[in-house]
């Protein structure tokens, strides 16, 4: 049994899927650091609520598209906690529109945050994890990275890229006992989907074999599996949490 408390970093941890992951890993006993780029009040409210329940949760402002911001943030976490055991690359943005209307800036912004940001975070945690000879990297892709989606060529490309990043890094880092896996969520109940009307929700659900959206906690459950001891012989895998949509 390990005689230290493990440390997890969840990017984009202040809302939606990221918030659910922060809460689940904190419940699993991790010291959890979440990142945010705006809305510090929301991040601090989550941390305070979890700390009042005895959990060790902290939030740091981090620009996931900036190498300097990422390196400084991760160096700070390692200095404070002495280690980093789990990285969850969850932060992401969308700038949806059809290809003919999509600007180069729309493409660059989404790829820089979603894919380049994941690459930079992986690079920043690789050295401390290699020194520990142990670590877990969990990339949150999307079902559209597997099957595409009209109006999302930038987002779909960034999420497909995360799958290639996962499989290549899994091969590079396996000799140091660093496991790299990927989750591809489908239609998830979030603040964004709350804005849909009943007909729109039904149209989405009708395409899904399980006939419903997932809760963010159902994605967090799979993150927990990858982060904990039950997955010690699993690396380079992509698990779709999509109710069967991509079958």
Choice among 33, 155, 187, 233 that is catalytic = 155
Return the number of other C-beta atoms located less than 10 Å from residue 209's C-beta.
Answer: 10
Contacts of 221 (CB under 8 A, 6+ apart): 24
Cα separations (Å) of 74 from 114, 131, 173, 199?
18, 15, 19, 44
Query: Is 155 an annotated catalytic residue?
Result: yes
Contacts of 203 (CB under 8 A, 6+ apart): none
Size of the chain in residues: 247
DSSP-assigned letters across all residues of 154-198: HHHHHHHHHHHHHHHHHHHHGGGTEEEEEEEE-SB--TTGGGS-H
Return the number of other C-beta atoms located less than 10 Å from residue 123's C-beta.
Answer: 14
Residue positions annotated with a catalytic role: 155
């Amino acid at each position: 049994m390990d005689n230290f408390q493990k440390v997890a970093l969840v990017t984009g941890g202040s809302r939606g899927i990221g918030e659910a992951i922060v809460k689940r890993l904190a419940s699993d006993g991790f010291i959890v650091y979440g990142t945010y780029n705006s809305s510090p009040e929301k991040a601090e409210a989550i941390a305070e609520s979890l700390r009042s329940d005895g959990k060790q949760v902290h939030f740091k402002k981090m620009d996931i598209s900036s190498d300097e911001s990422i390196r400084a943030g991760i160096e700070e976490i390692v200095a404070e906690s002495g280690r980093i055991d789990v990285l969850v690359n969850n932060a992401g943005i969308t700038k949806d529109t059809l290809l003919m209307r999509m600007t180069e800036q729309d493409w660059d912004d989404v790829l820089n945050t979603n894919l380049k940001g994941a690459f930079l975070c992986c690079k920043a945690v690789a050295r401390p994890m290699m020194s520990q000879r142990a670590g877990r990297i969990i990339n949150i892709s999307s079902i559209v990275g597997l099957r595409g989606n009209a109006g999302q060529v930038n987002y779909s490309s960034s999420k497909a890229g995360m799958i290639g990043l996962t499989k290549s890094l899994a091969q590079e880092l396996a000799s140091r006992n660093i496991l790299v896996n990927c989750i591809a969520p489908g239609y998830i109940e979030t603040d964004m989907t709350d804005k849909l009307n009943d007909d729109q929700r039904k149209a989405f659900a009708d395409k899904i074999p399980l006939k419903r959206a997932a809760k963010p906690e159902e994605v967090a459950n799979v993150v927990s599996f990858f982060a904990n001891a039950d997955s010690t012989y699993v690396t380079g895998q992509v698990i779709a949490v999509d109710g069967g949509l991509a079958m």
